Amino acid sequence: MGGTTDERARLALERCRGTRGAQETHWASRETRGAENAHRAGRGSRRVGEEDARMSELRYREALNLALGEELRRDERVVLLGEDIGVFGGAFKVTEGLLEEFGERRVRDTPISENTIVGMGVGAAMTGLRPVVELMTINFSLLAFDQIVNHAAHIRYMFGGQVSVPLVIRMPQGAGHQLGPTHSHCLEAMFLHVPGLLVAVPATPADARGLLKTAIRDENPVIFIEHESLYGVRGEVPDDEDTLVDFGHARVCHEGSDVTIVGVSRMALTAERAATTLADEHGVQAEVIDPRTLRPLDLDTILASVRTTNRCVVVEEGWPHGGVGANLAALISEHAFDDLDAPVARVSGADVPMPYSKPLEDIAYPHEPQVIAAALATLGLTADPGAAAATVRGAC
What pLDDT sits at residue 176?
A: 86
Q: What is the pLDDT of residues 143-157, one digit of tens each?
A: 999 999 999 999 999
Residue-level length of the chain: 396
Residues 113 and 61 grouped into a single domain: yes
Residues 30 and 67 grouped into a single domain: no
Cβ neighbours for 358, distance < 8 A, ≥ 6 positions apart: 178
Q: What is the pLDDT of residues 83-139, one digit of tens each?
A: 999 999 999 999 999 999 999 999 999 999 999 999 999 999 999 999 999 999 999
Of 238, 266, 301, the residue that ends a domain is 238
3-state secondary structure (DSSP) of residue 252: strand
Residues 148 and 217 grouped into a single domain: yes
> Structural domain of residue 198, as residue ranges?
55-238
Residues 193 and 281 grouped into a single domain: no
Of 179, 207, 238, the residue that ends a domain is 238
C-alpha pair distances (Å), 241 with each of 67, 68, 245, 250:
8, 11, 12, 21
Q: Is 325 within 8 Å of 315 (Cβ atoms)?
A: yes
Total of domains in the chain: 2
The one catalytic residue in 114, 134, 228, 255 is 114
**CATH number of the structural domain spanning residue 120:** 3.40.50.970
CB-side exposure of 247: number of CA atoms within 13 Å? 23
DSSP single-letter state for residue 206: H
Residues 295 and 381 grouped into a single domain: yes
Asked whether residue 311 is assigned to any structural domain, the reply reads yes
Residues 316 and 292 grouped into a single domain: yes
DSSP secondary structure string, 42-95?
HHTBSSTT-TT--EEEEEHHHHHHHHHHHHHHH-TTEEEEETTSSSS--TTSTT
Asked whether residue 49 is assigned to any structural domain, the reply reads no
Low-confidence stretches of the chain (pLDDT < 50) are 1-2, 5, 19-51, 387-396
- Annotated active-site residue 183? The verdict is yes
Whole-model pTM: value is: 0.86
Q: Is 79 within 8 Å of 106 (Cβ atoms)?
A: yes
Centre a 10 Å sphere on the Cβ of residue 355 and count the other Cβ atoms it contains: 18
DSSP single-letter state for residue 354: P
Cα 306 to the chain's mean position, in Å? 19
Of 178, 212, 238, the residue that ends a domain is 238
The one catalytic residue in 183, 185, 227, 282 is 183
Q: What is the pLDDT of residues 190-223, one digit of tens each?
A: 999 999 999 999 999 999 999 999 999 999 999 9
* Cis status, amide bond into 221, omega within 30 of 0: no
Please give the backbone phi and psi of residue 253, each rounded to the nearest 5 degrees, phi first.
-80, -30
- Annotated active-site residue 254? The verdict is no
